[in-house]
Amino acid sequence: MTQAKLIDGNAFSATLRDGIAARVHEIRDAHRIVPGLAVVLVGEDPASQVYVRNKHKRTVECGMNSFEHKLPAETGEAELLNLIKGLNDDPAVHGILVQLPLPGHMDAQKVIEAIRPDKDVDGFHPWNVGKLAAGGEGLIPCTPLGSMMLLRDWICVQSGGSLAGLKAVVVGRSNIVGKPMAHLLIRESCTVTVAHSRTRDLPAEVRAADIVVAAVGQPEMLRGDWIRPGATVIDVGINRIALPDGKTRLVGDVRFDEAVQVAGAITPVPGGVGPMTIACLLRNTLTACARLHRLDIPEARPWA
Ligand code: GUN
């Protein structure tokens, strides 16, 4: 049995970050501008704390300024909105990210809409959502952007093929991944199906697809016999499961040991889409900085 090619997100994201770091140094030397990313964390969610720590480390590594704002869980919504207003007006801040989920007493949508769209490096503000749907120069959510970069590299660069006309299924319809991913695939002229928890005969929908993007948040839900032989599988899931010996393990939304026997290429978990998300956050921060300062660098142009 042939094994699928493994799509190495660690290697791809390292190359992407190196390119971003080089550009950051270039614009610092040429313009005395240092891109700055502000990350806001409300509360003590352990997973969010890990994400925020990693974002800070990677931001500093590529030469950008990192501004961390950690607020207690009981912070009032008005206080958070006030902090965002300050970051909107701060010329040293080019990207703003409010880590989700927020505590239950806050209206996440209201908070997202308080962020200046041109500093919204998550791409969650309705202005950016609309730009992605209608085409144009908005900021694109990081996980779908990273997934699309891996997909294009495998299908277009390494395999010499084209995405146009391929059948893609996106399993999951979240605002963070599923919906923006579907828009990116449509832009590439794929024929796109968005499947979700109410889809009838999900295995049949997945079996019809040349490209499978799994973003349901259900550990190992997609089985190997759902995958069309030779398909490209992008597994966005990051699920921590308990093992019988009391330890834990990270798994995706796809049953990897089965799918790897059938697929043409597959992203592993960990080491697939995960590291691309932070790399794309840095790229979006660079993009936002370049646009705010009207620098003509490739990262300022619409992601084609
Ligand atoms: N929580 C989980 N994923 C994300 C993300 O992409 N952005 C933000 N802000 N919070 C998250």
158 is catalytic: no
Ligand 1 contact, 100 CB (< 6 A): yes
Ligand 1 centre from 100 Cα, in Å? Answer: 5
Ligand 1 contact, 176 CB (< 6 A): yes
pTM above 0.85, yes or no: yes
What confidence score (pLDDT) does residue 1 get? 62
Domain 31-118 identical in fold to domain 142-275? yes
Instruction: Name the superfamily (CATH) of residues 31-118.
Output: Leucine Dehydrogenase, chain A, domain 1 (3.40.50.10860)
Tokens coding 213: 């993007």
What confidence score (pLDDT) does residue 229 get? 98
Ligand 1 contact, 97 CB (< 6 A): yes
Ramachandran angles phi, psi of 24, nearest 5°: -60, -45
Can you give the residue ranges of every domain in the chain?
Answer: 31-118, 142-275
What confidence score (pLDDT) does residue 304 get? 78
Nearest CA to ligand 1 atom 9: 99
Quick one: which H or E segment has residue 6? strand 5-6
Residue 206's SS3 state is helix
The one-digit pLDDT tens for each residue of the chain (304 residues) are 679 999 999 999 999 999 999 999 999 999 999 999 999 999 999 999 999 999 999 999 999 999 999 999 999 999 999 999 999 999 999 999 999 999 999 999 999 999 999 999 999 999 999 999 998 789 999 999 999 999 999 999 999 999 999 999 999 999 999 999 999 999 999 999 999 999 999 999 999 999 999 999 999 999 999 999 999 999 999 999 999 999 999 999 999 999 999 999 999 999 999 999 999 999 999 999 999 999 999 999 998 7
99 is catalytic: yes
Nearest CA to ligand 1 atom 2: 100
Ligand 1 contact, 142 CB (< 6 A): yes
Ligand 1 contact, 99 CB (< 6 A): yes
**Domain 142-275, CATH class in plain words:** alpha beta
Nearest CA to ligand 1 atom 1: 100
Out of 118, 119, 120, 122, which one is annotated catalytic? 122
- The closest alpha carbon to 274, from 95, 4, 13, belongs to 13
First to last CA, the chain: 37
- The closest alpha carbon to 83, from 99, 101, 65, belongs to 99
What confidence score (pLDDT) does residue 136 get? 77
Ligand 1 centre from 204 Cα, in Å? Answer: 30
Q: Are 56 and 39 in contact (CB under 8 A)?
A: yes
Residues paired with 273 in a beta bridge: none
* CB environment 47-74: b (16+ within 10 A), e (fewer): ebeebbeebeebbeebbbbbbebeeeee
What confidence score (pLDDT) does residue 109 get? 98
Choice from 97, 111, 143 to test ligand 1 binding pocket (greatest atom count within 8 A of CB)? 97
Q: Are 21 and 63 in contact (CB under 8 A)?
A: yes
Ligand 1 centre from 122 Cα, in Å? Answer: 7
122 is catalytic: yes
Ligand 1 centre from 105 Cα, in Å? Answer: 18
Ligand 1 centre from 277 Cα, in Å? Answer: 9
